[in-house]
Amino acid sequence: MEENFLTVVDENGNEVLCEILFTFDSDEFNKSYVFYVPLETKDEDDEVEVQCSAYIASEDGTVGELLPIESDEEWDMIEEVFNTYIANMEDEDFDDEEYDEDDDDECCCGHHHHHGEDDDECCCHDEDEE
């Protein structure tokens, strides 16, 4: 799975292995961007430092040469994309939790059932189930 990782050189000249969160293209700036997380900072208890760079794709389509972000306008666009990504991730987590929590108690019509209640009493179970 090497395509999900990239190596960057930090300010001290050290190579740091990073996991790619996602990439996207901007028509406005005519560039490709990558969000990534250094693996050494990835810990469930600590905050993760997400980084972003513009990049030029290599011949095999993976992230190739990283480029600096050049303007405040680019950073504003990147921040908006990242905020949307985070909001979508939070929505997915909420939906998964809600689904798991209510899966046994709510039928397809939205009625809540108590465990042991006869499913035939629900309006959506008019047909015989085999």
Give bridge partners of residue 55 from the DSSP assignment.
32, 66
**φ/ψ of residue 68, rounded to 5:** -75, 155
User: What does the pLDDT average to over 110-115?
Assistant: 45
pTM: 0.64
Q: How many helices and strands (H and E) does the chain possess?
A: 1, 5
Q: Nearest to residue 63, comparing CAs of 3, 128, 126, 124?
A: 3
> Cα dihedral angle (51, 53, 55, 58), rounded to 10 degrees?
-20
Q: How confident is the model at residue 40 (pLDDT cuts 50, 70, 90)?
A: confident
Q: Evaluate if residue 104 carries a pLDDT over 90.
A: no
Work out the percent of the chain whose per-residue pLDDT is above 90.
Answer: 42
